Structure 1
Amino acid sequence: MELLVDLHTHTIASGHAYSTVTENALAASRRGIKLLGMTDHGPKMPGAPHLFHFDNLSILPDELYGVKILPGVEANITNYEGDLDMPMRYLEQLKLILAGLHPICYPGGTCEQNTQAYLKAMLNPYIDIMVHPGRPDFEMDLEKIAHASALLNVPVEVNNSSLATISGKDRARNNCNSIARYMSKYKSPVILGSDAHFWDRVGEFSEALELVRETGISEQQILNTSPERVLDYLVERRKRRTEFNPISLKYRLSIA
């Protein structure tokens, strides 16, 4: 399986990452990546950029070293209602919006509260991709998340960094294995993400690919095999913002 897109990467602007946009783009080019998401953390993360950083992303070139750049954000879910740390006007202008739960930015809660926060964020039509549900920081109902992903056609990430680098790796692997099996069961859309915080990890999917093969996720479920598939999905996602009917979808989720 050839993966040509990495939508989850960080630069020095995130405060705890160590490479520039240029360094990441050059690394992506050398790895054969054709489409690169630049998704620094939202402002509630300590050390993250000020909102003006996101206002100024339009100055970036569309392409570096033959790699198309998608400027965006990894927004932080901040409460049990699934609210984000990004004002609406920024969500409307960014080309790529990821969202996930992070310690410090989110208070934590019961399994039910954490699952509710994640699902309510998934219902937000401005969010394109939900990230790293397998992290061990917050217990969640992973089957419900995979089922919701299939119902809403919102990709959930298999995060290579969760499997390779974080503390609590064994718990993360167990969680990632569980949700990957549920995504295989429900045929949910999937994104593999490097979550690179240094240039040498851009386009690094080896652990995520191994898990995908183990759990039976099909190549057809994985969007980042093709830049065109990802870009078509993002175009359709933005069209659906005006057609979104959260009431019926919340009902479907409640009986899932």
Structure 2
Amino acid sequence: MRNYEIKTDLHTHTLASTHAYSTLEENCRGAFANGLEGINMSDHGPSMPDAPYEGHFSNMRILPEYIHGIKVWKGAEANIVDYEGRIDLTEHTLGRLECIVASFHEQTFKAGTVEQHTNAYMQALKNPKIHILGHSGTAQYPYDHDTVIKEAARLGKAIELNEATFHVRPSSIANCRKIIAKCKKYGAFISVDSDAHFSAFVGVYDCARKLLDELDFPQELIINRNAETVSKWLKELAAASEN
């Protein structure tokens, strides 16, 4: 199997989302043990029933840049809440965060048509504060892959390959394969993430690595291959949004 470099994890949860089971410090220790350089702290946005309130996110600026040797980006897994691609964090809070994953969840987004899902993603991509579309292979939310992935490639945003999907959403695996193949076709960045809800799984990508190998996916399109690459990418997106 090809030895892909994936030394950061941009989608992790702490027990601030109460269906997860580890603290931020425990996640950092898990990341260090698994050979990572950095993680994004990305608990669920406040419209999720057991998510932290908005102040949890706006207060992240108090956290140190490194914890137990791990670079920590202050972020969120924001919920896309309507077909216009709006998310559940205010501009004030988004302005204090560094890396935003935006996702559909059944608790916060009613499944609609392919066209409605596609429009929601397209509008979300236009938001300069959104960096990654999370677990978009979810079977109940089909969308026009070509349209969305080409737009993500044009904007330099990332499509997530979510390791947890292989374990908790097996009906979505075929979609993930198609999506990652399209990312390769159109030159779109991907972010290979654990979606870990327990510290031991931070940075563990066994199934995702196998899929990447099967598709001969190019290393240079994996945006989270190391901490330096992620920091440079986030700065470039921020600069582009100001022009």
Instruction: Tell me the TM-score normalised to structure 2 length.
Output: 0.96
Shift of 1:211: 1.1
Q: Please name the residue that 1:71 is paired with.
A: 74
* Structure 2 Cα separation of the partners of residues 120 and 134 of structure 1: 18
- Aligned pairs for 1:47-86 (under 5 A) are 47-86=50-89
* Structure 1 Cα separation of the partners of residues 206 and 122 of structure 2: 28
* Structure 2 Cα separation of the partners of residues 14 and 136 of structure 1: 23
* Structure 2 Cα separation of the partners of residues 143 and 67 of structure 1: 36
Shift of 1:67: 0.5
Cα-to-partner distance string for 1:35-66 (whole Å, 9 max, x where unaligned): 11110000000110011111221222211111
Q: Please name the residue that 1:228 is paired with.
A: 228
Cα-to-partner distance string for 1:204-236 (whole Å, 9 max, x where unaligned): 111111111212320011112121111000011
Q: Please name the residue that 2:5 is paired with.
A: 2
Q: Please name the residue that 1:186 is paired with.
A: 186
- Aligned pairs for 1:26-175 (under 5 A) are 26-163=29-166, 165-167=167-169, 169=170, 171-175=171-175
Give the number of aligned pairs: 240
- The 8 Å contact of residues 181 and 216 in structure 1, kept in 2 or not, is answered as no
SS of equivalent to 1:37: strand
- The 8 Å contact of residues 15 and 46 in structure 1, kept in 2 or not, is answered as no
SS of equivalent to 2:224: helix
Q: Which range moves more in the overlay, 63-72 or 78-87?
A: 63-72
Structure 1 runs of 4+ with >2 Å offset: none
For structure 2, the 5+ residue unaligned runs are none
* Structure 2 Cα separation of the partners of residues 241 and 147 of structure 1: 18
Q: Please name the residue that 2:196 is paired with.
A: 196
Q: Which has the higher contact order (CA 8 A, sep 6+)?
A: 2
* Structure 2 Cα separation of the partners of residues 119 and 210 of structure 1: 29
Cα-to-partner distance string for 1:80-111 (whole Å, 9 max, x where unaligned): 10000001111111111111111111122001
Q: Please name the residue that 1:248 is paired with.
A: none
Instruction: Tell me the TM-score normalised to structure 1 length.
Output: 0.91
Provide the aligned C-alpha RMSD in A: 1.1
Amino-acid identity (%) = 37
Q: Please name the residue that 1:249 is paired with.
A: none
SS of equivalent to 1:11: coil
SS of equivalent to 2:81: coil
Q: Which amino acid aligns with 2:139?
A: P
* Structure 1 Cα separation of the partners of residues 149 and 206 of structure 2: 22
